[in-house]
Structures are given as C-alpha cells and as structure tokens.
Amino acid sequence: MRTAEITRKTAETEIAVAINLDGTGQYDVKTGVGFFDHMLDQLARHSLIDITLRAKGDLHIDDHHTVEDCGIALGQALTKALGDKTGIRRYGHFALAMDDTQITCALDLCARPFLLWNVDFPTAKIGTFDTELVREFFQGFATHGGITLHVDRVHGLNSHHIAEAAFKATARALRMAVEPDSRMAGQLPSTKGAL
C-alpha cells in the first residue's frame, strides 16, 4: 500500500493528514476554511487519492497559514507515500474545461520542486476566501512534494470556476503521474537512476 501519515505542528497550525495513493478518491477534510475544504475534496476525488485531513490554524488572523501549511503537509505525505518512485509514470498533464474556464496542468514528480503559476483571478475573494491563497497552497504542495508543477489559465471569467478548475486539473495530472506503469515495473522512470 502506498500510504502515508504526516503530522505537522507549528505555533500557527496543527495539521494531521493521511493519504492513500491507490485509493478511490475518498475524502474527509476539515480545515475550518469552507471553500478550501471544497477544493481539497476536488483534489482527492479527481486524483483518486484518498485524503483525510484535519487542520487547526490561527483563523482569527486569517486563512493564510492554514492553507499554506496544508499544502506543505500534503506535499510531505505525497513524498513519503511515493517512496523511491519505482515503477510510476512520473509525468502527468491535463487540460480541464469548467464552464467559462479552461486550466491546463503539467507536472513532473522529479524531486526538483518548481511552481510556474500563470493563473489570474478577476476578483480578490471567493466569498471570504482570498484568491491569492490558491497559489500559496500549490507553492507549499509543489515544494514539499518535490513537484515541477506548471498551471496555466487558458481562459476564465469566474474566480470560483478558475480555482476549482486549477485543483481539478492538478488532481487529474497527479492521478496520471502516480499511477504504476506496467512497462516500467521495477524501474525508475529516469536515466539518472534516482529521483
């Protein structure tokens, strides 16, 4: 089983996360940030990675630390669950349409973290949620998951749709990348001999 559990505790947040890369997309997420919970549910459902996550953060200040630290913890869990990455596809890509919006995602589970984020939002908030926090989540996730992650907005008018399409496109690309590749069984998908 490719599973992992991570507990992360700082002066700002306390997060416990468990994932199963070979799951069915089950989710049980409670962060105290409603819109963010909805996005993490999408990440689980569309990646087919089971995610259980509990977060307690300094929401009396704002949502920033909670959202960012959830990205960090999920990235750490992904790294742990993948192990040495033998036999995985490694690369994933997806173009996702959602109503007025299209987002593309391409990623590489190469242990060389890099986020290229070409996603603009027409509004500063989705309800009470700061749209700039979407990037903060993906920055933490990419950095601690060892992911080269490129996310691009092709077009989009509605901030909710743009954010949700970004999570769904990334989930679908991640699903592809973590899947075992029967033609690479027992081998690393790299000529370097290590990822």
CA angle 176, 179, 180 (to 5 degrees): 140
From CA 163, how far away is CA 133, in angstroms rounded? 10
Confidence check: pLDDT of 164 > 90: yes
What b-and-e string marks burial along 87-113, b requiring 16 or more CB atoms within 10 Å of the CB? bbbbebebebebeebbbbbbbbbbeeb
What is the reported pTM? 0.97
For the chain, domains (ranges, CATH) are 3-184 (3.30.230.40)
From CA 164, how far away is CA 173, in angstroms rounded? 14
135, 160, 25, 147: which is closest to 75 by C-alpha?
147
84-139 tens-digit pLDDT: 999 999 999 999 999 999 999 999 999 999 999 999 999 999 999 999 999 999 99
Are 165 and 96 in contact by the 8 Å Cβ rule? The answer is yes
